[in-house]
Structures are given as structure tokens and as C-alpha cells.
Amino acid sequence: MKNLVLLLALILPATARPWTDDVMYFAMTDRFYDGDPSNNIPPSCDPALYDAKQQDINLYQGGDLRGIENALQSNYFNDLGVTALWLTPVVKNVWRSGYDLGGWKTGYHGYWTQDWLDIDPHLTSRKSLTGESYPNGDEGRMQHYRDLVKLAHSKGIKVIQDVVINHAGPVFYYDFDADDRFDTSKKEEWVQPFTSEGFHDNAKWTDVKKWNAVQAQPDGKRKLLGVEIATKGALSRLGSYGRKGFSDDSLSKTDGEEVICDFFSLRDIWTDPSGEHFNELVEEFVEIYHFYLTTIGVDGLRIDTVKHVHPQFWDAFTESLRRRLGPAAAEKILFGEIYDENPARLGQYTWTTNWSERPNPVLDSVLDFNFCFKAREYLRRPANEFGSPAALEKSLATRTGTDPELQRPYYNPNPGADGLNSQQKIITFIENHDGLNRFRVAGITEQRNRLAQGLLMTLPGIPCLYYGTEFALLDKAGKIGEDGETGRMMFYRSQGGPSMKDVKASAAFVEISKLAALRAKLPVLRTGQVIPLWVDNDAGTDDNGVFAFARASENGESFAVVVVNASDADRVTSAGEFQIRLPATLKTSGKILRPVLTVGTDKPPLTGVFFDAAGPLRLPVPASSLVVYEGVLKP
């Protein structure tokens, strides 16, 4: 079973595998592995933007595409059980901003686009893995990116490109003092106060080459890799941007302001359907991402800041892009980031704005922030403390729940081009690079981190791992209950960090690889319905911290039971006179439950114990662990 996921990946092309069979891995490329130190300070780049000690979270630290390629070549991701790589945006960025949350920062993360059809030189190499020189300029950089995608595909691994359509980097300034010069020391030239009426008419393109703070691109047609890309320069025109300024509270609003304001010093793209450039912007982005999805061959798009874009834009963009892709649309996934735990707000973007007439999906699915927050309520507690899993149980129920206001399912149940719907393709996670930060911060034990990964890998959804969690990477500066970005540390450090051999030998890596292999072996863990069985209650203490659920096939023939114990004492699924039974819809007659995997604990796994699947269940689960029981015929 150890190499099952790798074997499956080699047998089937990545595109032939349904997304529900995938395990994602989200890597912040600049913070993963510096595979090519020669690109750490690209030509014309301000040397002060790079931290050779890899300590300053706000500076570039050297991770690049070559580092990802080295990991791919060594079968690192295959050994972990990963089948899809989501990389932070690779396009050319503005490299520094004087006004972001917290002050001066760099664009190491990739979300400050300057050129949508060029790859950032911090990420690319002058030569391929086999030693051939790439051409100079954007052609060579794009060739390197295509080579990475081809390498991933040769390993049976899909690639998801992180994209930003809501905004550009600080490609223009507001000429506050009307001197026709960008004064980078003045906050007012980076940020103007939000205006609800009209726009600021003093916007001018920046021209600070050492920060690549220059006019947005492409400014017209582009030819790359022998392909003519018919862009028309919409993104290089000031009229395509809102220029309405920024207010501190606009990002959390839901009254419409959040879709028309700048994002600190990031420049809002005017996606209002009544805008004169609306159709041109839709066509421009379709042209750009059709190129990446076809010529480069990426398998999907993770779309950033979805809720800050007019929803009518998503209607038009997704419909036009899928039409342009034709049959290939069935192989691609478009999923979005909506930083909100309200299921109505999350699911909104899987529906068209005129959904009663056009019930087809818009985004294929979304990142499930509701799941993330509720799983954290249960497990992201200091030391041996734990919360109730009741909120997590409720979160799972909302996946198929109904919006009481609109009287429609929260998530669009109508299938996309691949025959799967947004409920089936929802992406689950418990940590990321945004304010909610890494799961393991100060006070969170290594065992608790491993337990959380076990929960992620056994509940419904496409699980997404965050880089470093396979080593239980600890963010010492992060705090429970506080937002922060301190978890964006370098993983494979140039000096003093773990080697890949160290990481592969760690308990976290081994357990995740076993979970991925078991998920590949048991279809119910990938696509089965979830049936909550037990949430700790007040009837007794035997079950404190326990959460149990079944995963079952639609016909009830196949099933597994997962029991999670967040406490520091051995537990059972019982409390007082109450005991659980599997529902009558499952075919339990003549079957037993046997433990097939235990994670989260360093104690020996449960073996040699069996339980009649048709009877009352007092399932044991060791302290701080998760046990998977498989339903099998009695021997």
C-alpha cells in the first residue's frame, strides 16, 4: 500500500483522474526551497529586497521553480501522497510596496501582478534541469514554467495556478501633490481615501524599475512559445482600474464597497458590468488564462479575492473561458478564495447571479473556510485542551444545507463539465498563508498537528495540505486566536534547516503518506457520504474530546468508521448508557470493523481487535489519536 498512490499516478494520466481523487499541496514558492541561488537578485532588482539569512518575513527568501522541480524529481510529493500542486502566483510582480498591511513589504508571495503574461525572474532559471539554456526574457521564463508543469505531469501530479483578477500591484500612484513625480515616502501617493462618487483623477503610472513598479502589462498582443496571444492591452489602460482609493474597513464589508475599492496600495480592476471596459476585461482575462490552461498545460486555477470582484464578472468570465476551452473544460478546475465562514457567502459564487434561469455552476467550487474555522475550534487549542466537535459536525451538514433566504442549496448541486458538482469538489484545509496562519503555532503540539491532518484527510472534500505541515513545521511567533502571517517561513532553509531525508523520516510525513495511501485504497474516504456518529456529550466522561463518523458508499455496501480523540487519555465512543450503532442504511450483517490505521500518537497502533458492525459500538481510540476502522466481512 506504501506506493499505491505513486503507482496510480503513473498508471493514469493526471487529467484522467477525477478531482475528488486528488490530494492537494499548497506551496508558497518563495518559501519552499531555493533551488537556484543565481535568481535571488534578478537584474535591475534592488538588492535590499532579498534576505540571504531567510529570516525577514517581508523580504524575498529565494524559493523558486527549481526548488519545486528538485522536489518533483526526487519523488518527494509522490512519496507524500500528493497528486496536485497549488503554487502561489508565478507571474511577474511589483517587487516592493510602501503601503501594505504592516508597512513596507515585498511581493515575494506573488499577489501583486505587474505583467500577467510574464513569469517573475525571482522564480526562474537560465538553464533547464538538463542543462540547456533558456532564451532571454519572457520567452525563456515561460519555457521554464512550462517545463515545470510537464515534469509534474510526468509524475502524475496536476498543477494549479494561483491567479489574481481583482487587482494589480501598485502599478500607478496618486499624484497627491500634483508635481508629476512619484514621491515614494508619502503615504498619500500610495493610498488615497475611498470615494464613493467618481474616482481619483490624479492616477499616473509608476516608473520605479528597481521595484518593477511600472505600467501594467500586457499592453497588446504577445507571442510566447510560438503562440499568438491576442491580448488587447486592457490592463495597461488606467480606465480599466477603479481608482477609488482605500478605506481600512472596506475589506470586511458586504455592502458593495468591498468590490470597488483598492486593496491597500493594490489597484482595483474595474469589473463593474456597467463599466465601459467590462467586456474587454472579460475577453482579456479569458485570452490570458486560456493560454496558461492550454499552452502551458496547468490543470486548474485557484482564484484569489473572489468576493472583491463584481459577481457578474465571474458569470461572464467562467462561461466564456469554458466555451473557449471546449471539451478540455471537463479536465480543469476553477475554485475560489472567499475569506468568509458564512456558507451562504461561500456558496454564492458557485451560482450565477440569475441562477433561476441559468443554474449551471460558475466556480467549480471554493475553499471551505467554514470547515477550517470549525475544525480549529475543535483542535487548535493549547497543550492538551480541546473544544467541542459539535460545530464541525454542523459545518459538514451545511455542505448539503439550504440557504433559508434564497431557498436553494448553499452550494450548487448541478454538475459541471466533469459531471461533479461544487459540493463534491469543495476544497478543505485547516491552515494557509493568509491571516488565519499556520495551524501549528506556539502552544500547539506536534501530535495535535498530526491529528488535525488526519481529520482533514478522512473527512469529505478535496484535502489541501499547507507546505511544511508534513514536518509539523512550528511557527514560534504565531499565536492561537490572533491573525498573522508569521507562518510564511522558509521551509528548506539554506542553512540550519531540515533536509528532505529528515522530513521524509518524520512522523508527520509518514502518517500523511499513510493517510493518502488509505484514501486511495478506500473509495469511501474520497467520495463516500459522511454520517456523524458521535460527538462527546454530558452523559459521562468516557467520551470527552471524541468525534466519530462513518464514510459510506451510496448503496451502503462499503463503509469505514473514523474515531478522533483530542484528549490526553484513552477514550471510547460511549457516554453513560449511550452507545452508537451504524445506521440501518449500511449493510452491516456479517461484517466487522477492524482498525486499519492509527495516526497522531507514537504508541503502537491498535491491532487484533474487532467489533461486530451490526451491534452497539464501544470503539477504543488512544489518547491524542485518530483511528480508521474498515468494515469487512467476518473471517
Burial (Cβ within 10 Å: 0-12, 13-18, ≥19) of residue 311: middle
Contacts (Cβ under 8 Å, ≥6 apart) of 624: 384, 445, 447, 448, 451, 565, 566, 567, 568, 600, 601
Phi-psi region of 326 (alpha: psi -120 to 50; beta: other; left: phi over 0): left
User: Please, which pLDDT band fits residue 2 given cuts at 50, 70 and 90?
Assistant: very low
Nearest to 624 by CA among 471, 453, 459: 453
Q: Which residue has the cell 471510547?
A: 572
Nearest to 109 by CA among 130, 90, 126, 84: 90
Q: Which residue has the cell 441559468?
A: 358
What does R_g of the chain's alpha carbons equal in angstroms? 25
The domains found in the chain, sorted by start residue, are 528-633 (2.60.40.1180)
User: Please, which pLDDT band fits residue 540 given cuts at 50, 70 and 90?
Assistant: low
pTM summary value: 0.96
Distance, in Å, from the CA atom of 358 to the CA atom of 14, rounded to the nearest integer, reads 31
Distance, in Å, from the CA atom of 117 to the CA atom of 89, rounded to the nearest integer, reads 12
Q: Which residue has the cell 473556510?
A: 369
User: Please, which pLDDT band fits residue 253 given cuts at 50, 70 and 90?
Assistant: confident
Local structure of residue 467 (DSSP, 8 states): T
Q: What is the pLDDT of residues 560-575, one digit of tens each?
A: 999 999 999 999 888 7
616 three-class SS:
coil
Q: What is the pLDDT of residues 468-525, one digit of tens each?
A: 999 999 999 999 999 999 999 999 999 999 999 999 999 999 999 999 999 999 999 9
Given a contact cutoff of 8 angstroms between Cβ atoms, the answer to whether 81 and 511 are in contact is: no
**Per-residue pLDDT at 137 exceeds 50:** yes
Distance, in Å, from the CA atom of 366 to the CA atom of 27, rounded to the nearest integer, reads 18
Burial (Cβ within 10 Å: 0-12, 13-18, ≥19) of residue 570: middle
Contacts (Cβ under 8 Å, ≥6 apart) of 102: 58
Amino acid code (one letter) for 344: A
Local structure of residue 449 (DSSP, 8 states): H
Given a contact cutoff of 8 angstroms between Cβ atoms, the answer to whether 243 and 200 are in contact is: yes
Stronger pLDDT, 435 or 209, i.e. the higher one:
209
* Mean pLDDT of the region 597-625: 88
* Sign of the torsion angle spanned by Cα atoms 339, 278, 110, 231: positive
Q: What is the pLDDT of residues 180-222, one digit of tens each?
A: 999 999 999 999 999 999 999 999 999 999 999 999 999 999 9
Contacts (Cβ under 8 Å, ≥6 apart) of 418: 18, 19, 330, 331
* Mean pLDDT of the region 160-177: 98
Q: Are strands 113-119 and 91-93 parallel, antiparallel or unpaired?
A: antiparallel
Looking at residue 11, what is its pLDDT?
47
What percentage of residues in the chain have a pLDDT greater than 70? 98
Contacts (Cβ under 8 Å, ≥6 apart) of 635: none
DSSP readout, 238-307?
Answer: GGGB----B-TTGGG--SSGGGTS-BTTBEEB---TTSTTHHHHHHHHHHHHHHIIIII---EEEESSGG
* Mean pLDDT of the region 335-358: 97
Looking at residue 12, what is its pLDDT?
61
CA atoms within 13 A on the CB side of 294: 19
**Which helix or strand (DSSP H or E) is residue 520 part of?**
helix 507-521
Q: What is the pLDDT of residues 26-51, one digit of tens each?
A: 999 999 999 999 999 999 999 999 99
CA atoms within 13 A on the CB side of 246: 23
Looking at residue 187, what is its pLDDT?
93
Buried b (16+ CB within 10 A) or exposed e, 436-461: bbbbbbeebbbbbbbbbbbbbbbbbb
User: Please, which pLDDT band fits residue 1 given cuts at 50, 70 and 90?
Assistant: very low
Looking at residue 607, what is its pLDDT?
77
**Per-residue pLDDT at 10 exceeds 50:** no
**Per-residue pLDDT at 577 exceeds 90:** no
How many secondary structure helices (H) and strands (E) does the chain include? 14, 30
Looking at residue 373, what is its pLDDT?
98
Distance, in Å, from the CA atom of 250 to the CA atom of 264, rounded to the nearest integer, reads 10
Given a contact cutoff of 8 angstroms between Cβ atoms, the answer to whether 73 and 129 are in contact is: yes
Given a contact cutoff of 8 angstroms between Cβ atoms, the answer to whether 620 and 606 are in contact is: yes
Residues β-bridged to residue 268:
167
* Sign of the torsion angle spanned by Cα atoms 343, 349, 355, 360: negative
Least confident span in 298-302, 414-418, 610-614: 610-614
* Residue 132 grid coordinates: 540547456
611 three-class SS:
strand
Given a contact cutoff of 8 angstroms between Cβ atoms, the answer to whether 411 and 350 are in contact is: yes
Local structure of residue 198 (DSSP, 8 states): S
Looking at residue 536, what is its pLDDT?
81
* Mean pLDDT of the region 253-266: 90
Q: ∠ CA 508-514-519 to the nearest 5 degrees?
A: 125
* Mean pLDDT over the full length of the chain: 95
Buried b (16+ CB within 10 A) or exposed e, 391-405: bbbebbebbebebee
